[in-house]
Chain A
């Protein structure tokens, strides 16, 4: 490019005579000389009207960029200012190209109302409020039609497809087992080590079993599993439904008399609701195993002692308190992912934006609901 730029030189020279002005254009009038030539022509900007002659015969090369600069200059001193422009002989091909270009470029009509500072400050807040409301509405619609309506159709089969549900259970559940196990094992081990380290100064290291057991079973197990699944499966659901929306596949389903919620969302929602409690159980076992290993290695608590202590500190309500939350988390992840997926527009960018907001929103709502459950349990002394 730099080579090209240094080689090519374009120029325009003005001869003023009594009969009129004469502009001699020469050299290379193309994209890479356009900036310099635009500036050069600007200096003649004050001239307008009168008799003008353009000589293009010593131009060596020209493309639409160069032609447009000449055409614009010609419009400026010619037709717009009541002057006259004619072309000298020579360079006919270039003259033709300049002549073929339009007289002017209409600017697009633009909505120039920018609004006052007040409007610009508060309009986004209003939009956000409305979008929260419409999102809630859409979520309720999906939840409602998943429960009743989406499966209704004419024909031989019921609207529910067991094969689709089993397929989703395999993808979202079975395939997630290794990563959930590994993550929970590490979390259990870390909590046990930190707890033992702090409790050691009180000589109460044995209570690390209570700490890990209650924390993991009531809170951490289901919460981290839900966050992991929101990142892993929630994003996949949004991306799948969103790209189907982009390619009009969702519209094709509607036209065939099938409900997109019934065909696309329902199996995933059912699968998530089945899978998340099961994954929570896996996570709890893995975390307790991790904690037992650390308790043994770090605090010399044997497995037998660990199990005996665990049996004393944990009762059914502790396990139930965590497990009850799992299906709710699953529904939140599934519904938020579906709502975001169905909001995807035509562009790849909007797909990416909605996948991101699906994960962010579902993790946020999962944590929020976990907090509400904690308050509820405290209130009913569970």
Chain B
């Protein structure tokens, strides 16, 4: 049932692009306020999708709905070929194991060390001896570029960038197929943010991850994202490569990518 987690060859991926996440006709609202109206979105295997939109347009609502932290009014959400509503409880748990989430503020459990945080999903879902779990936790820490000493620190003792990396390590604990990142580079300095972007690209290439990234960081959008989707007017306004964005005449998209800051990044 689980396919290889490895990246498909690039040419293969271009030919039959397998949708890892597909959202159809999704409507979400609170009371009289409709936040998302008949929204469609697809994320393909092995790509890094950058998701942008003005503040308050519902980027977080969409991500939380896909993760089923918020209820939807109507529409279907298909993750890894499974429609969630039709699954049994066991299948839902099996599906949850294949998703990883990096919350905006890390959401590391403050009472556990970094190592224990990474081991939480392993401990819950797998039956591994402690020494092997310690080793896998050290491997994840190494993969996300943290110093080995960080393993036994508590989240309160970490800097912002280290928290993001530790949270990414926890999101990757069970080698998920699809990773959700909520503003992964916000609050990081430009060098740290660039390193984090590189890290995500590297992990995508080696582990074959599919990445859904909510971001406002123009540098990330230009450097690592394969495709960009813009949320506005309660639906996905446009989606496509960065060239498509630069060519787009929609006013918000135009001012976002071709405004002062956007131009500065293009020139660089």
Query: What is the interface of chain A, defined by CB distance below 8 A to chain B?
Result: 1, 4, 30-32, 34-35, 38, 60-65, 68, 72, 93-94, 96-97, 100-102, 105-110, 345-349
Contact = CB atoms under 8 A, between A and B. Distances in A.
B5 A61 contact: yes
B128 interface: yes
B156 interface: yes
Nearest to B138: A105
A348 B111 contact: yes
Contacts of A72: 135
B136 A65 contact: yes
Interface stretch (B32-40, B78-86, B143-151, B233-241): B143-151
Interface of B: 2-7, 94, 110-111, 122, 125-129, 132, 135-136, 138-140, 142-143, 148-152, 154-157, 172, 174-175, 206-208
Nearest to A71: B139
Contacts of A35: 127-129, 132
Given A61-B4, A108-B152, 19 more contacts: A30-B175, A31-B128, A34-B126, A34-B128, A35-B127, A61-B3, A62-B4, A65-B175, A93-B7, A97-B206, A101-B143, A102-B142, A102-B143, A105-B135, A106-B142, A106-B148, A345-B156, A346-B154, A346-B157
Given A30-B175, A97-B207, A108 B110 contact: no
Contact of A32 (B126, B129, B143, B155): B126
Contacts of B111: 347-349
A64 B175 contact: yes
Nearest to A104: B142
A245 B178 CA distance: 36
7 contacts: A61-B5, A97-B6, A105-B148, A106-B142, A110-B152, A346-B155, A347-B156
Given A61-B4, A64-B175, A65-B175, A1 B110 contact: no
Most buried by A among B151, B152, B156, B172: B156
B132 A34 contact: yes
A377 B94 CA distance: 70
**Chain B facing A: main interface SS:** helix
Contacts of A97: 6, 206-207
Contacts of B125: 1
A108 B207 contact: no
Nearest to B151: A108
Nearest to B147: A108
Contacts of A61: 2-5
Contact of A347 (B110, B138, B174): B110
Contacts of B207: 63-64, 97
A30 B208 CA distance: 14
A64 B139 contact: yes
Contacts of B7: 93
A96 B205 CA distance: 10
Nearest to B157: A346
A30 B97 CA distance: 13
Nearest to B153: A108
B110 A348 contact: yes
B4 A68 contact: no
A167 to B, nearest CB: 30
Which of A35, A65, A110: most chain B Cβ within 10 A?
A: A65
B155 A105 contact: no
B128 to A, nearest CB: 6
B237 to A, nearest CB: 36
Given A64-B139, A93-B6, A107 B148 contact: yes
Contacts of B110: 346-349
A358 B169 CA distance: 36
User: Which one of A32, A61, A108, A109 has the greatest number of beta carbons of chain B within 10 Å?
Assistant: A108
Contacts of B140: 64
Contacts of B127: 32, 35
Nearest to A5: B127
